[in-house]
Amino acid sequence: MRRIFYFLLLLFFSSTVFAQLNQNGKIAIAIHGGAGTIKREDMSPEREAEYRAKLEEALKAGHQVLENGGSSLNAVVAAIQIMEESPLFNAGKGAVFTNEVKNELDAAIMDGKTRNAGTVAGISTVKSPVAAARVVMENSPHVMMIGQGAEQFAEEQGLEMVDPSYFFTDRRYEQLQRIKDTEQQQLEHDGDKDSGDRRPGDQREGMLDEKFPDRKFGTVGAVALDQEGNLAAATSTGGMTNKRYGRVGDVPIIGAGTYADNTTCAVSATGHGEYFIRSVVAYDIAALMKYKGLSLKEAGEEVVKDKLVKMGGGGGVISIDAQGNIAMPFNTAGMYRASISPGGEMYIGIYEDE
Amino acid sequence: MRRIFYFLLLLFFSSTVFAQLNQNGKIAIAIHGGAGTIKREDMSPEREAEYRAKLEEALKAGHQVLENGGSSLNAVVAAIQIMEESPLFNAGKGAVFTNEVKNELDAAIMDGKTRNAGTVAGISTVKSPVAAARVVMENSPHVMMIGQGAEQFAEEQGLEMVDPSYFFTDRRYEQLQRIKDTEQQQLEHDGDKDSGDRRPGDQREGMLDEKFPDRKFGTVGAVALDQEGNLAAATSTGGMTNKRYGRVGDVPIIGAGTYADNTTCAVSATGHGEYFIRSVVAYDIAALMKYKGLSLKEAGEEVVKDKLVKMGGGGGVISIDAQGNIAMPFNTAGMYRASISPGGEMYIGIYEDE
């Protein structure tokens, strides 16, 4: 009897010590609002101030959750939902339009403790796509749901549904029209009047990207470390302006645009999704840490600033490890980004040189 | 002038030697037709003979392409299309039914030389889903297309379209009815008469899996090495019987169910897709080779027989490296599999002990 008592006492103390270790107060968070050809000379001071203010608001909302002892999952969702509701970013309200003038949204979330994950793609009626990804993770045996099936599941789960028109913004509509006009002019210039004949793989696709450098970017994401030592990552996007054929990028691809594992890191990516899928970007950073012993910073730089550059894939990632180290490498002119370190230092940046 | 002549001569010979090195005749191929609770005692001799004959036919079709100097991409597509057209496998004709009595097909292909990739998910009207994945890879700037958008693209690309009824088979329809009946009985037994109330995450999901062990399996795939030294991987599936909500598994997730890179390996997976996505199975095998120096066999065994088992993810992979080594590890009772080594040895297996 006595033995059992001592054993239970030992168990109690060791679990308390263990909890203390994890609850040493180390919390940290990083967010992004997209990467691309974001240049100081193209940005009005007012516009820049709007972005910085919204990044700060989202960052602080996520950090507040962590300070209150909330989970990293709750923190990343809180931060992302503020950006989803802002028309500044290409996610939720403010998402770019497809060729058929629709908004088709993708999102993903991953829990670093269990490596459980949820993703949705091609949805148009759920107000918060990241919330849809979360119910897929937590309340279904599946990881990925697409289209109307995903919408039905979200609705059954009691999420807020909206008319597709909720996602409409004038700015994105005008952006689509400009891209379509330019495409039409290019087709006519090429002596090819039938726009149905245009193949997305041809040269003109590249020309368009130079004129509309941000049409593939603007995804939002967040990564966080909570008091329990658990990491989480989440990402939400409207995809690519004028996209066709139900195109899906890297965001809802676990391992490409989103990944989290307590033993390595949590990563959320933004950029030219096709290259991020082919390079398995988010998991590659984790693998370099796990198998080659690289630090978070070294792993991220190797993947984003070397491998992706060689392949031609523009973009960046935000990442965090279990010690609260944060790295936000990108290979484009700018990336909307912000972080609060375990020491409480806040950082907000847009351009490369800050 | 003379110097230039000698330089060109040298260039000519060195390129010839280099070409010889790659064309040393090393070709190899491996295919799978799904993994799961496949036991000798549950299989009639006639049924077993049918599977072995179809595996051999698909294997030889792919190998013939390689022998004729064709690309590994052509070889994996040739092998998979024979399995897609056979009602024996859960891909193409013979695909399992969704809860709404539809067939929603997914497929992926990846080119190890360029690391270009193409995937489709949730399509119902393209006769060969792997062919749809290939046109996405080769004729679009995208990697992933889903639903009607993917179907429209495939049709514009001139692929053979079919009425969704083409994929109907009595065997799969009866399988769906049996699963639905059992589900209904379980619901009534639980005193919960409203089947709409059933949440896919609940315990009954696990009970169902014990009664219908093959409902998540049966995917087909192929990996190959061609005379040029190029690797390729492709996978095609009907997903999970009675699936709902537009569920997508690991097959069209590059890095999870399908991956190829000449510098490491080509992998095609089959099994409980959710675990394969969360574990980034296919790329993890490549990463263990690249970053830890493991052999193809060691890497595959670590991922499939250790990591996936600990997580609870049943299934297996077929894999090949640039030297033509083949490994086909699985952690289930059986996996339909077949291979021809660089030495020309043919192997066909179903159960664990062969």
Catalytic residues of B: 219
Is A294's Cβ below 8 Å from some Cβ in B? no
Q: Number of CB pairs < 8 Å for A and B?
A: 154
Both tokens of residue B145?
């297309």
Which of B144, B201, B278 faces A248 most closely, judged by CB atoms? B144
Stretch 183-212 of chain B: residues touching chain A, C-beta under 8 Å: 196, 199-201, 205
Decide if A219 is catalytic: yes
Of B115, B149, B256, the CB nearest to A246: B149
Residue A191 CA to residue B204 CA, distance in Å, equals 61
- Check residue A111 and give its pLDDT: 98
Which domains, from first to last, does chain A contain? 26-168+211-351 (3.60.20.30)
* Of residues A248, A89, A98, the one with CA closest to residue A179: A98
Residue-wise pLDDT tens for chain A (354 aa)? 566 666 555 555 554 444 444 446 799 999 999 998 888 888 899 999 999 999 999 999 999 999 999 999 999 999 999 999 999 999 999 888 888 888 999 999 999 999 999 999 999 999 999 999 999 999 999 999 999 999 999 999 999 999 999 998 888 888 888 888 877 776 565 443 333 333 333 333 444 445 555 555 679 999 999 999 999 999 999 988 888 899 999 999 999 999 999 999 999 999 999 999 999 999 999 999 999 999 999 999 999 999 999 999 999 999 999 999 999 999 999 999 999 999 999 999 999 998
Contact by Cβ (8 Å): A272, A216: yes
Q: Is residue B204 predicted with pLDDT exceeding 50?
A: no
| Chain B CB contacts of A147 below 8 Å | 122, 146-147, 246
Q: Is A284 on the interface with B (CB under 8 A)?
A: yes
Structure-block tokens of residue A181: 């006009």
Residue A137: other Cβ atoms inside 10 A? 23
The rounded distance, in Å, linking the Cα atoms of A114 and A120 is 19
B143, B201, B291: residue with CB nearest A139: B201
Residue B327: pLDDT above 80?
A: yes
Residue B269 token pair: 């997976």
SS3 assignment, position B37: coil
pLDDT tens for each residue of A11-50: 555 544 444 444 467 999 999 999 988 888 888 999 999 9
Looking at residue A78, its pLDDT comes to 98
Amino acid, res. B167? F
Contact B92, B126 (CB under 8 A): no
Mean pLDDT (whole number) for B236-248: 90
Nearest-10 Cα torsion for A179, A183, A184, A186: 140
What tokens does B349 get? 């297996």
Q: Indicate whether B81 pLDDT > 90.
A: yes
Answer whether B249 touches A (CB < 8 Å).
Answer: yes
Let me know if B2 is exposed, middle or buried by CB neighbors in 10 A (0-12, 13-18, 19+).
Answer: exposed
> Who among A115, A152, A253 is closest to B278 (CB)?
A115
User: What span, in angstroms and rounded, lies between the C-alpha atoms of B118 and B68?
Assistant: 25
Q: Is A144 on the interface with B (CB under 8 A)?
A: yes
Please tell me the distance in Å from B284's CA to the nearest CA on chain A: 8
Assess A126–B contact: CB distance below 8 Å, yes or no. no
Helices (H), ranges, A72-128? 72-85
| Chain A, nearest residue to B99 by Cα | A149
pLDDT computed for residue A5 by the predictor? 60
Per-residue pLDDT at B7:
58
DSSP helix/strand/coil, B3: helix
Name the residue among A171, A173, A170, A154 with its Cα closest to residue A162: A154
Give the residue among B65, B5, B15, B42 at the shortest CA–CA distance from B213: B42
The answer, for A263 touching chain B at a CB cutoff of 8 Å, is no
Would you say residue B296 has pLDDT above 60?
yes
The pLDDT, as a whole number, for residue A200 is 39
* Cβ-count burial B300-314 (b if 16+ within 10 Å, e if not): bbbbbeebbeeeebb
- Comparing CA positions, the residue from A29, A87, A96 lying closest to residue A59 is A29
Is B245's CB within 8 Å of A277's CB?
A: no
Share the mean pLDDT of chain B.
88
What pLDDT, on the 0 to 100 scale, is given for residue A13?
52
Helices and strands (H and E) in chain A: how many: 11, 13
Q: Is A116 helix (H, G, I), strand (E, B) or coil?
A: strand
On the question of pLDDT at B333 being above 60, the answer is yes
- Phi-psi domain of A245 (left: phi exceeds 0; alpha: psi -120 through 50; beta: other): left
For residue A1, the model assigns a pLDDT of 55
| Strand B105-111 with B231-237, pairing | antiparallel
pLDDT tens per residue, range B7-23: 555 555 554 444 444 44
Distance CA B26, CA B200 (A): 47
Between chains, do A254 and B139 touch, taking CB under 8 Å as contact?
Answer: no
On whether any CB of chain B is under 8 Å from the CB of A253, the answer is yes
Q: Is the dihedral of CA B265, B266, B270, B272 positive or negative?
A: positive
Best to test chain A binding among B253, B261, B272 (most A CBs inside 10 Å) = B253
B306-322: per-residue pLDDT in tens?
999 999 999 999 999 99
Residue B332: pLDDT band (50, 70, 90) is very high
Largest CA distance in chain B: 93
User: Looking up tokens 């064309």, which residue turns up?
Assistant: B23
pLDDT in the model for residue A324: 98
Query: Which residues, 6 or more positions from B20, have their beta carbon under 8 angstroms from its beta carbon?
Result: none
pTM of the predicted model, to two decimals?
0.89
